[in-house]
């Protein structure tokens, strides 16, 4: 039986990746700082992989969050993500892992682009608001490429948009969708008629339901074997203003949003070109945004107590 190790497998994305692999009959092991493996410690990673001997290693670990989180923790975000990926790849090569699955955010694309097609991944600088998060992930591709040239190390590199869904992050440091769900539900509960949103509301973002993301990752691990990156998403976007109004409509909250334009917007548009994904995987994410938001709100209402104390410094 093929053995899969998911590092960060008890985090938001990781737990869904684990379940998707298990549904397909894989033997799956989960490790993270919570379970005792700090991937920033190279010796610890080497020792663990040497004893575990997984066939496939999926990197779902990272210091993650939205612009608010990243801007407050520039050094930690950069160093943590660089060390985690660097150590995992070196250990995977040394311990005979057959395939490494590297997951990257869409902010690894040049900041000035609006449509993200794979052949343009190197066509410009990163957006400054996400540089310390995006650059370490991009560096992992270079590291993997070098090992492929010298040691025939197999790895795939998947670029994903912002994710949302059950088990997600809903605090102030979360990406916009999770933070907006929390704000709307709290406003509804408290009888508030106004909600503040950072920025102008004009930036366009793509959102991928987390269960769809997990399924796509497993399919890619099975069907894709090229060092070149592949986008994984729906290929559709909406503005932050449209997103807020959709969440309010699904939640049946009739208040108003006001926008703090002194806060940063980030890149103006981030939408993935997913033609390659559809051709290679013969699959598209099935969950539409309205349906996904409805499921997310339902999960939030059932688990609101568990979401109150989320820390802004996380590993997923």
CATH number reported for the structural domain that contains residue 171 in this entry: 3.90.25.10
Of the candidates 1, 111, 19, 109, the one whose C-alpha atom is nearest the C-alpha of residue 58 is: 19
In a domain, 275, yes or no: no
Q: Which residue has the higher pLDDT, 129 or 100?
A: 100
Conformation bin of residue 283: beta by default, left when phi > 0, alpha when psi is -120 to 50: beta
Q: Which residue has the higher pLDDT, 111 or 6?
A: 6
Q: 45-49, 115-119, 276-280, 309-313: which has the minimum mean pLDDT?
A: 309-313
Q: Which two tokens stand for residue 272?
A: 């993935």
Name the burial class of residue 269, with classes exposed (0-12), middle (13-18) and buried (19+) by CB atoms within 10 angstroms of its CB.
Answer: middle
What's the mean per-residue pLDDT of the chain? 92
Same domain for 220 and 250?
Answer: no
pLDDT value at 311 more than 60: no
Same domain for 179 and 260?
Answer: yes
Same domain for 170 and 303?
Answer: yes
Antiparallel, parallel or unpaired: β 238-239 and 204-205:
antiparallel
Tell me the three state secondary structure of residue 8: coil
Same domain for 58 and 198?
Answer: no
pLDDT digits (tens, 9 = 90+) for 135-148: 999 999 999 999 99
User: Residue 45 maps to which CATH number?
Assistant: 3.40.50.720
Same domain for 124 and 176?
Answer: no
In a domain, 315, yes or no: no
Mean pLDDT in residue range 296-306 = 87
Catalytic residues: 133
Same domain for 60 and 172?
Answer: no
pLDDT value at 82 more than 90: yes
Q: What pLDDT does 263 receive?
A: 87
Q: How confident is the model at residue 306 (pLDDT cuts 50, 70, 90)?
A: low
* Tally of structural domains, the chain: 2
Q: What is the strand order of the sheet 99-105 is part of?
A: 27-31, 3-7, 56-59, 99-105, 155-160, 230-231
- Domain interval for residue 194: 165-205+236-269+287-307
Same domain for 215 and 71?
Answer: yes
């Amino acid at each position: 039986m093929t053995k899969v190790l998911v590092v960060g497998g008890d985090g938001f994305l990781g737990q869904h990746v684990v379940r998707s692999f298990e549904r397909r009959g894989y033997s799956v092991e989960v490790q993270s700082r919570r379970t005792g493996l700090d991937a920033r410690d190279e010796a610890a990673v080497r020792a663990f992989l040497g004893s575990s001997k997984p066939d496939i290693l999926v990197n779902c670990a990272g210091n993650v969050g939205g612009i608010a989180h990243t801007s407050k923790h520039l050094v930690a975000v950069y160093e943590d993500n660089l060390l985690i990926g660097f150590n995992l790849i070196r250990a995977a090569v040394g311990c005979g892992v057959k395939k490494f699955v590297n997951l990257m955010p869409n902010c690894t694309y040049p900041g000035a682009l609006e449509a993200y097609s794979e052949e343009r991944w190197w066509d410009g600088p990163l957006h400054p608001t996400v540089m310390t998060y995006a650059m370490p992930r991009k560096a992992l591709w270079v590291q993997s490429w070098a090992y492929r040239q010298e040691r025939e190390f197999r790895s795939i590199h998947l670029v994903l948009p912002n994710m949302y869904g059950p088990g997600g992050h809903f605090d102030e440091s979360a990406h916009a969708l999770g933070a907006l769900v929390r704000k709307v539900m709290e406003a509804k509960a408290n009888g508030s008629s106004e909600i503040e949103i950072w920025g102008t509301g004009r930036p366009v973002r793509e959102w991928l339901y987390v269960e769809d993301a997990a399924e796509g990752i497993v399919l890619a691990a099975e069907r894709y074997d090229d060092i070149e990156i592949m986008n994984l998403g729906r290929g559709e976007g909406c503005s932050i203003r449209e997103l807020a109004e959709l969440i309010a409509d699904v939640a049946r909250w009739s208040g108003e949003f006001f926008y703090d334009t002194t806060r940063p917007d980030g890149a103006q548009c981030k939408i993935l070109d997913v033609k390659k994904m559809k051709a290679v995987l013969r699959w598209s994410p099935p969950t539409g945004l309205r349906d996904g938001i409805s499921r997310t709100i339902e999960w939030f209402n059932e688990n609101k107590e568990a979401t109150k104390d989320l820390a802004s410094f996380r590993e997923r």
